[in-house]
Amino acid sequence: MAFTAIDSRLLHDLQNVLGRDAVLYRPEDLLLYEYDGSVETGRPTCVAFPRTAEHVVGIVRLAKRHGVPLVGRGAGTGLSGGAIARRGGIVTSFARMNRILEVDAANQRARVQPGLVNADLSLAVAHLGLHFAPDPSSQKACTIGGNVSENSGGPHTLAYGVTTNHVLALEVVLPDGELIHLGAAALDAAGYDLTGLFVGSEGTFGLVTEITVKLTRLPEATKTLLAVYDSVDDATETVVEITARGITPAACEMMDGWTIRAVEEYVHAGFPLDCAAVLLIEVDGLAEAAEYEAAEVADVCSRHRSREVRVARDARERDLLWKGRKNAFGAVGRLSPTYYTQDGVIPRTKLPATLRRVNEIGHKYGFAIGNIFHAGDGNLHPIILFDARDKREFANAVAASDEIIQFCIDVGGSITGEHGVGMEKDRLMPLLFGEADLDLMRRVRDVFNPDGLLNPAKVLPGGKGCGEIHVRPPATAVGSATA
Amino acid sequence: MSSASATIPARAAEIAGARNVIVDAAALEAYAIGGKSPAAAIRPESPEQIAEIVKFAIGGKLALVACGARTKLDMGAAPRQYDLAIDVTRLDRVLAYDPGDMTLSVEPGIPLHRIQSTLAEHRQFLPLVVPFMDRATAGGTIAAGVDSPLRQFYGTARDYVLGVEFLAGEGALTKSGGRVVKNVSGYDLHKLMIGALGTLGVMTRINFRTFPLPSGARTVTATFDSVARAVEFRHATAGSPLRPLALEIVSPRAGSLLGIPNADDAWSVIASFAGTARALERSVGDLRTMAEQSGRASFASDDSHMPAMDAGTSEFVPAALASAAGATIFKLSVLPTQLHAMLDAAAKAADATGTSWAAVARGVGVIYFALLPAERDQNALARVGRAAGELLAQGAALDANATIPWCPAEWKATLPIWGPERSDLGPMRALKRVFDPHGVFAPGRFLGGI
């Protein structure tokens, strides 16, 4: 069942709570809200723009009273369909709840509204020598509320951790309209770690209306290195060796030659056009430590036949290198009507074998597959270019993607590292989790969202007949899927 | 005790073999919680045997408490009902260790020191240096949710436990998370297991992220004649570019308990650093300057082993518990800028009741404050109770998270061990019902009678 056409009573009620300028419902206005950054779509019934937690409570109560689904939305940059109204209903956009409520520099805390853009927080506290460490590639657009829902990562999470490591407390409106507070600004709130449970629940437990985050001190020194390779294997083996030397870089990113050429044409970051792969490696900390680690990293790169190691001389050069990396998806997107970004995770030492397998899968289906990795933590982003208007090609793209994911699982990895399950991978969850695991997750969700009105048909696989793709039987023995 | 309890030893022996069942009353005292002993203790040798035990408990309406080395059974409340102890120390294997991936999977009964020596062979370690380090197990440590001084840099278990497998309340083996360092598939149920005191299930496998053992380390101890100066030094260090692994403020009495030199009348600040010789020189030099500016009484720096086993202050709790019969230890978490006010308020509350005290405060804002009455009698309880009331009131004014993890068992019912009531107790109770619908896992051990 999908809720698409708006009921006039619901519209009237929403406008009463929020004001006339805070509800979109005409089909042409809704078009934008059918999408996020993924290849999925879904038409909402309307879009509501709360300004306060009380507004959110009002929206939630109306959704419940009218029996329509409810989906939270930040900037819509998500890559797994988390913010898409899969069953129609009210999309609650947090675009107007985007303020920084408090910055407590001495305690390295900030209290923010969910619609605040990720990069805006770091910009606002930079003069205090602080930043918000999670840095998704979409950080100039994505919101912290979205980061909390998806437990977003980013290049620098290798050393600094993902969103959940930086969230201390949440104010949440539950689907029954109750407003609750989880965690606390001080550490180690008593009781179960509900904050940890909520972060990454992909908007299926409650709507977050306020977030208390940790701010991280900016490092005294940062060294950014670009290592250029004529062989992908040499690049991936470098990654393994860097950690074996006891160095945890702040970031360790890899792009293959195909991707580099696409990026260079668009961004002009100075990437060499004839190489097989580059590693973008950053070390930071005390000046003495960064200096030492940069030298060690350069040494490892050379030993693994890197043909050139460049060290960014200043902030401008560093920014340019990162611009190349963070705009890579946009650059690749220019080459094809549609592209599909995977988000598999593998144990880091399996990188060389995995890349070879991704390449084979591309050949098998006749796709160009670009590779951008958070190499340091084994988080792959193979990009499959295809034309979604061609049904056969679409099916092949999904099949190729599934084969990549299956390989990730076979080597002990996971189906998603930072993009979330959403409506893209709910059908793949049984590859990783058995019936008992999924059943417990479902019952935990029902604690908060018993009627299933909040972000329905996400994360957990639906009933029978939902998947067009065959999945192997769930693992039942302990350790069998992860050993 | 339920009527099924008479059948416990026999059924336990069927499940795990008679050699793995303890029924001797004297031996069972080692499993007692709050003076309450189980009818038997069972030492399962596989997760499947634990599953059998859970199913038996459901059928017989029995209450189970899982334990490892039993060093932290005194934390939390005594269970309302306690029929069978599940001693997991036979489940003590490393299930997988991939040094290149820096991930480790263990069974819950493995001692932490064995984990550290396994990892040390590959110059890695787990930043989990906790009370009773000589015996503590991985499972017990995660269930107790105790922290390490190293949290200043590495965070707590929630930051490096990647996944957990456990038996939930229907006796089904269940897992959450995985074995890779970055993973957002499914809900993070394993975060709930951390610090749950075994009330949500019995863990059978824990997956950790491991960390490189630094090439060199240095520990600095600066002493100050007042708490104000010690805290000022903490603030200066935290606000500097330095990245201490641990940053601990130690009261005079705590310094004596821990054997810190020159600590008898002074507040000490202990800071650990890791890195290359040059980075360490720089850190110590900067610290020396900052300590002088904060008016240090003494300053010493020594080459220490990387604190994989001994992080200086991590044994404060055992030392405090052993030092006084009525030892009562509060955990008071505040924002770092409230450390001074909270320590002052706690000291005043203790002094007002004529009770001696000792404190270790982590730089991140977590204070372990021990009231140390020599006696464990009604008079001592009355004094501790008065101090606790005052302390919690002051804590509430400072937005502290205040609990009393350790105190004499017979005082638990009187003292506010869980601190002020929380507004999120409703969802916590509901989660307990989901994980443990039959109420077999350590009923009553947790906050709110969960």
CATH number of the structural domain spanning residue B175? 3.30.465.10
Give the C-alpha distances (Å, rounded to integers) separating B319 from B145, B323, B359. Answer: 19, 6, 11
DSSP A418: S
The answer to whether the Cβ–Cβ distance between A482 and B279 falls below 8 Å is no
Is pLDDT at A466 greater than 70 in this prediction?
A: no
Q: Kindly state whether B147 is in contact with chain A, defined as any CB-CB distance less than 8 angstroms.
A: yes
pLDDT at B305: 61
**Is residue B119 included in any domain, yes or no?**
yes
Query: What angle do the packed helices B339-352 and B378-397 form, to 10 degrees?
Result: 150
Are B224 and B284 in a shared domain? yes
Q: Do A188 and B123 touch (CB under 8 A)?
A: no
Nearest-by-CA chain A residue for B420: A190
How far is residue A192's CA from residue A174's CA, in Å, rounded to a whole number?
Answer: 17
Of A157, A219, A437, which has the smallest distance from its Cβ to B174's Cβ?
A: A437
Name the residue facing A479 among B95, B401, B425 (closest C-beta): B95
- Judged against a pLDDT cut of 80, whether residue B288 lies above it is answered with yes
Size of interface A-B (CB pairs under 8 A): 263
A436/B168 CB distance under 8 A: yes
Determine, yes or no, domain membership for B420: no
Q: Does B279 touch chain A (CB under 8 A)?
A: yes
Q: What distance in Å separates residue A290's CA from the closest CA in chain B?
A: 9
Find the CATH number of the domain harbouring B19.
3.30.43.10
pLDDT digits (tens, 9 = 90+) for A207-238: 999 999 999 999 999 999 999 999 999 999 99
Q: Could you read off the pLDDT of B293-343 as tens digits, one per residue?
A: 999 999 999 886 656 666 679 999 999 999 999 999 999 999 999 999 999
Cβ distance A372 to A329 under 8 Å? yes
Q: Give residue A481's pLDDT.
A: 29
CA distance A54 to chain B (A): 18
Same domain for B57 and B146, yes or no, is no
Classify residue B372: in a domain, yes or no: yes
Tell me which of A440, A441, A446, A447 to substitute to probe the interface with B (most B C-beta atoms closer than 10 Å): A440
Are residue B70 and residue B166 in the same domain, yes or no? no
Give phi and psi for A201, each to the nearest 5: -85, 10
Q: A106 and B279: CB-CB below 8 Å? A: no
Whether B100 and B205 share a structural domain: yes
Q: Residue A482 pLDDT more than 70?
A: no
Tell me: the pLDDT tens digits for B80-128?
A: 999 999 999 999 999 999 999 999 999 999 999 999 999 999 999 999 9
3-state secondary structure of B428: helix
Q: Are strands B246-250 and B357-362 parallel, antiparallel or unpaired?
A: antiparallel
Residues B187, B100 share a domain: yes
Judged by a CB distance cut-off of 8 A, whether residue B325 touches chain A is no
Average pLDDT for A277-293: 96
B140 is a domain residue: yes
**pLDDT over threshold 90, residue B399:** yes
Asked if B421 is an interface residue toward chain A (Cβ–Cβ < 8 A), one would say no
Which chain A residues are Cβ-neighbours of B213 within 8 angstroms? 246
Q: Last residue of a domain, which of B307, B338, B357?
A: B307
Number of domains in chain B: 4
Q: Do A188 and B333 touch (CB under 8 A)?
A: yes
Do B82 and B126 reside in the same domain of the chain? no
Q: Is B114 helix (H, G, I), strand (E, B) or coil?
A: helix
Segments forming the whole domain that contains residue B156: 94-212
User: pTM here?
Assistant: 0.95
CB-based contact B182 A109, cutoff 8 Å: no
The sheet with strand B64-67 has its strands ordered as B21-22, B40-42, B84-87, B64-67
Side-chain half-sphere of A119: how many Cα atoms within 13 Å? 10
pLDDT of residue A1: 52
Q: Does B275 touch chain A (CB under 8 A)?
A: yes
- Identify the pLDDT of residue B423: 86
Q: Label residue B56 by pLDDT band (50, 70, 90).
A: very high
Q: Which of these, B374, B443, B158, B87, lies nearest to A193 by C-alpha position?
A: B158
Give the domain CATH number at B294.
3.30.70.3450
- Asked if residue B156 and residue B183 are part of one domain, the reply reads yes
Q: Identify the pLDDT of residue B154.
A: 96
Does B335 touch chain A if contact means CB atoms closer than 8 Å?
yes
Q: Quote the strand ranges of B90-190, DSSP E.
A: 94-98, 103-106, 124-125, 161-167, 173-177
Q: Closest residue of A to B212, CA-based?
A: A246
Chain B partners of A441 at a C-beta cutoff of 8 Å?
176, 186-187, 189
Q: With an 8 Å Cβ cutoff, are B191 and A197 in contact?
A: yes
Instruction: Collect all residues of chain B within an 8 Å Cβ-Cβ radius of residue A104.
Output: 335, 337
B315 found inside a domain: no
Q: Which of A185, A192, A288 sits opposite B428 (nearest CB)?
A: A192
Contacts of A292 in chain B (CB under 8 A): 275-276, 278-279
Evaluate whether residue B314 is within a structural domain. Answer: no
In chain A, which residues have their Cβ closer than 8 Å to the Cβ of B99?
A: 244
**CATH number for B334:** 3.30.70.2740
Residue B204 and residue B165 share a domain = yes
Mean pLDDT of A196-216: 98
What pLDDT was estimated at residue A467? 36
Residue A341's nearest CA partner among A259, A221, A434, A446 is A259
* Angstrom distance (rounded) from CA A430 to CA A434: 6
| Spatial distance between the Cα atoms of A26 and A284, rounded to a whole number of angstroms | 50
Q: What is the pLDDT of residue B401?
A: 96
Asked if A197 and B336 come within 8 Å (Cβ–Cβ), the reply is no
Q: Is the pLDDT of residue A477 over 50?
A: no
* B334–A181 C-beta distance less than 8 A: no
Predicted pLDDT at A478? 30
User: B156-203: per-residue pLDDT in tens?
Assistant: 999 999 999 999 989 999 999 999 999 999 999 999 999 999 999 999
Task: Please report which confidence band the pLDDT of residue A45 belongs to, taking 50, 70 and 90 as the band edges.
Answer: very high
Nearest CA-CA partner of B49 in B88, B93, B23: B88
Average pLDDT in the B289-294 region? Answer: 96
What pLDDT is recorded for position B15?
97
Give the integer Cα–Cα distance in Å for A123 and A138. 15
Q: Count the residues in chain A.
A: 483
Q: CB–CB of A479 and B205 under 8 A?
A: yes
Is B134's pLDDT higher than 50? yes
Closest residue in A to B281 (Cα) is A288
B212, B242, B270: which is the final residue of a domain? B212
Minimal Cβ distance to B184: which of A220, A348, A416: A416
B155 and B199 inside one domain: yes
Residue B306 is predicted with a pLDDT of: 57
pLDDT band at B416 (very low <50, low <70, confident <90, very high): very high
Contact state of A193 with B427 under an 8 Å Cβ cutoff: no
Asked if the Cβ–Cβ distance from B182 to A419 is below 8 Å, we say no
Residue B35 lies in a domain: yes
pLDDT of A329 reads 81
Please answer yes or no on whether B187 and A201 come within 8 Å at the CB atom. yes
Q: Are residues B102 and B80 in the same domain?
A: no
B-chain CB neighbours of A350 within 8 Å are 101
Among A104, A374, A417, beta carbon nearest to B183? A417
In a domain, B419, yes or no: no
Angle between helices A8-18 and A53-66 (to 10 degrees): 160
End of a domain among B186, B212, B238? Answer: B212
Q: Which residues of A touch B156 (CB under 8 A)?
A: 188
- Decide if B178 and A181 are in contact by the 8 Å CB cutoff: no
Task: Determine whether the interchain pair A164/B188 forms a contact, defined as Cβ–Cβ distance below 8 Å.
Answer: yes
Q: What is the C-alpha to C-alpha distance for residues B103 and A469, in angstroms, rounded to an integer?
A: 31
CB atoms within 10 A of CB B344: 14
The tokens describing B124, both together, are 């890695």
Distance of alpha carbon A266 from alpha carbon A330, whole angstroms? 9
Closest chain A residue to B338, measured at CA: A107
Percent helix, percent strand, percent coil in chain A, to nearest 5: 40, 20, 40
Pairwise CB contact (< 8 Å): B431 & A412 = no
All residues of chain B having their beta carbon less than 8 Å from the beta carbon of residue A242 are: none
Confidence band of A463 (pLDDT split at 50, 70, 90): low
On average, the pLDDT of chain B sits at: 95
- Give the closest of A182, A186, A441 to B187, CB-based: A441
Q: Does the distance separating the beta carbons of B447 and A414 come in below 8 Å?
A: no
Whether residues B293 and B232 share a domain: the answer is yes
DSSP string, A222-284: EEEEEEEES-HHHHHHHHHHHHHTT---SEEEEEEHHHHHHHHHHH-----TT-SEEEEEEEE
DSSP code at position B72: S
Q: How far is CA B360 from CA A471, B129, B271, B313, in A?
A: 53, 15, 13, 8
**Residue type at B21?**
V
If asked whether residues B163 and B240 sit together in one domain, one would say: no
